[in-house]
């Protein structure tokens, strides 16, 4: 794409959006986008359009230093000369109107378990049956609720003869090589809290298809074209298999979860909040669809108050996305042993305590110690930069981190030089980091499902 083409398209975007009230004739697109003077600080469609487009032409690259007077019309560009600058940083300021106030904090059912010793859990009722005080495991590394046939029938009042009438489906977990095969059964869910006297309360209600599986594989060589059947399993169980967990992650389709689209995410399909229906065109309840993961709770519904302090990056749409909530994983840059920084994807995963690293720069063979420098989203505009030192002594793998508490239990590393990785054909020489759950000792993370942003808040010592 030529510079003139970029300028033409940018100017066309501006001129068709009536930006006179929100963008000055000589303003530059910066990390802190200009806001209206009202207290709402609306992140306007105009600035969001520009931010998304500028990132799509790889504004993060040092060699792209675009120049644009936003008052120009396309016909004026033919006579342009000289240099014009857009001060383009990798992070933006997300603002939400002050009258959008609907938010619910859901406490984790098992205090002190997450993030050091395992995934968090939420108190839930599924298909009319309470799952128990220990809760349902919540995983940001996958999408959708997964329930074994035995658990569904024996605990959640499920009817298997009815379940098989629904679409056959599957979910593959790339880190553990587990393939679940079953049926997507529409189900009502309730998220619970507790009042001061210990009484269970209803916070959120949703209806989503849940994957009720009757077959479970260990499938090391899974590809998406295998679908619900593993062609070369190393282990397999069928029948009244048991199990239960909930995925609330985004951007997971490319990792073997092609069916795990936003319509399967319980937190994106809420119809009732604190007893009030929030669906329908005449609904007066205002909410911003998204959620924040903290070390002791998850917060549904973003507001101008609960996003205070977060810094945000724009997300790209999933390839061939048909759902406005369908966003790809956030970007990062990673350097190994002081080598060059490579572009890749980051998954902040609540489901595991270890870190997984894929890069063509992973040392071969793995040395006793090596450093992994993480920059989210990149070196120029790091929101969450820290260094993990992976160590190995004999058969014992450990790790250290430059931010206390964020060191994973260990690092599992894969050198992707010269190979195509990923269950769907993947990405050539893939660069990918799964942080593991201890990321949340140093940060909070937020997903803006409505606008397509991922936010990070670095915790303080106080």
Q: How far apart are CA 144 and CA 264, in angstroms?
A: 5
Is the model's pLDDT at 28 over the cut of 80?
no
Per the CB < 8 A criterion, the answer to whether 313 and 92 are in contact is yes
Which pLDDT score is estimated for 284? 78
Backbone angles phi, psi at 52, to 5 degrees: -65, -40
Per the CB < 8 A criterion, the answer to whether 160 and 152 are in contact is yes
Which pLDDT score is estimated for 372? 98
Which pLDDT score is estimated for 447? 98
Which pLDDT score is estimated for 48? 29
Residue positions counted in the chain: 462
Q: State pLDDT tens for residues 127-150.
A: 999 999 999 999 999 999 999 999
Which pLDDT score is estimated for 16? 35
Strands 288-293 and 168-173: unpaired
Burial state string for 160-183 with b = 16 or more CB within 10 A and e = fewer than 16 = eeebeebeebbbbbbbebbbbbbb
Burial state string for 58-67 with b = 16 or more CB within 10 A and e = fewer than 16 = ebbeeeeebe
Tokens found for residue 384: 């969450």
Closest CA to 145 of 112, 105, 186, 107: 186
Q: How far apart are CA 136 and CA 164, in angstroms?
A: 24
Q: CATH fold of 330-458, please?
A: Cathepsin D, subunit A; domain 1 (2.40.70)
Which carries the bigger pLDDT value, residue 319 or residue 254? 319
181 Cβ neighbours under 8 A, 6+ residues apart? 168, 169, 170, 213, 214, 215, 216, 217, 228, 229
Per the CB < 8 A criterion, the answer to whether 415 and 359 are in contact is yes
Which pLDDT score is estimated for 77? 37
Is the model's pLDDT at 329 over the cut of 70?
yes
Closest CA to 251 of 262, 242, 243, 240: 262
70-84, 347-361, 440-454: lowest mean pLDDT where? Answer: 70-84
Which pLDDT score is estimated for 424? 64
SS3 content of the chain, % helix, strand, coil (to 5): 15, 35, 50
Q: How far apart are CA 42 and CA 50, in angstroms?
A: 15
The whole-number average pLDDT for the span 347-359 is 96
Distance from the Cα of residue 21 to its chain's centroid: 33
**Overall pTM surpassing 0.85 (yes/no):** no
Can you list the alpha helix ranges (DSSP code H) found in 317-362? Answer: none
Is the model's pLDDT at 153 over the cut of 80?
yes
Q: How far apart are CA 313 and CA 323, in angstroms?
A: 20
Name the segment(s) of the chain with CATH classification 2.40.70: 330-458
Which carries the bigger pLDDT value, residue 301 or residue 17? 301
Which pLDDT score is estimated for 421? 65
């Amino acid at each position: 794409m030529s510079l003139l083409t970029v300028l033409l398209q940018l100017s066309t975007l501006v001129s068709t959006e009536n930006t006179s009230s929100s963008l000055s004739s000589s303003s530059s697109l910066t990390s802190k986008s200009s806001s209206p003077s009202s207290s709402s600080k609306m992140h306007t469609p105009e600035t969001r359009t520009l931010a998304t487009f500028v990132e799509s032409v790889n504004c993060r690259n040092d060699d792209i230093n675009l120049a644009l007077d936003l008052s120009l019309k396309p016909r004026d560009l033919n006579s342009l000369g000289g240099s014009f600058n857009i001060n383009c940083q990798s992070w933006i300021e997300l603002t939400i109107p002050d009258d959008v106030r609907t938010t619910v904090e859901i406490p984790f059912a098992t205090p002190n378990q997450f993030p050091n010793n395992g995934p968090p859990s939420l108190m839930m009722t599924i298909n009319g049956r309470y799952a128990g005080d220990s809760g349902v495991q919540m995983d940001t590394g996958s999408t959708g609720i997964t329930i074994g046939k035995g658990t569904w029938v024996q605990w959640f009042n499920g009817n298997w003869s009815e379940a098989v009438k629904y679409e056959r489906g599957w979910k593959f977990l790339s880190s553990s090589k587990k393939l679940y095969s079953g049926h997507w059964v529409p189900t009502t869910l309730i998220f619970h809290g507790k009042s001061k006297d210990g009484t269970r309360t209803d916070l959120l209600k949703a209806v989503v298809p849940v994957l009720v599986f009757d077959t479970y594989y260990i499938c090391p060589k899974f590809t998406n074209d295998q679908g619900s059947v593993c062609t070369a399993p190393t282990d397999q169980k069928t029948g009244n298999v048991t199990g239960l967990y909930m995925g609330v992650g985004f951007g997971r389709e490319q990792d073997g979860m092609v069916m795990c689209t936003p319509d399967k995410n319980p937190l994106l399909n809420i119809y009732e909040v604190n007893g009030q229906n929030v669906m329908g065109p005449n609904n007066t309840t205002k909410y911003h669809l998204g959620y924040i993961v903290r070390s002791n709770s998850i917060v549904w519904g973003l507001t101008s108050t609960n996003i205070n302090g977060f810094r945000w990056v724009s997300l790209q749409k999933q390839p061939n996305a048909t759902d406005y909530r369908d966003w790809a994983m956030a970007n990062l840059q990673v350097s190994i042993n002081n080598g060059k920084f490579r572009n890749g994807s980051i998954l902040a995963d609540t489901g595991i305590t270890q870190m997984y690293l894929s890069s063509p720069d992973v040392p071969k063979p793995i040395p006793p110690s090596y450093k992994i420098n993480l920059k989210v989203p990149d070196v120029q505009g790091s929101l969450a930069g820290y260094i993990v030192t992976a160590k190995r002594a004999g058969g014992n793998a450990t790790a250290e981190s430059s931010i206390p508490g964020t060191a994973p239990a260990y690092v599992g590393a894969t050198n992707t030089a010269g190979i195509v990785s990923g269950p769907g054909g993947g990405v050539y020489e893939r660069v990918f980091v799964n942080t593991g759950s201890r990321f949340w000792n140093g940060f909070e993370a937020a997903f803006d499902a409505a606008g397509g942003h991922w936010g990070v808040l670095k915790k303080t010592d106080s």
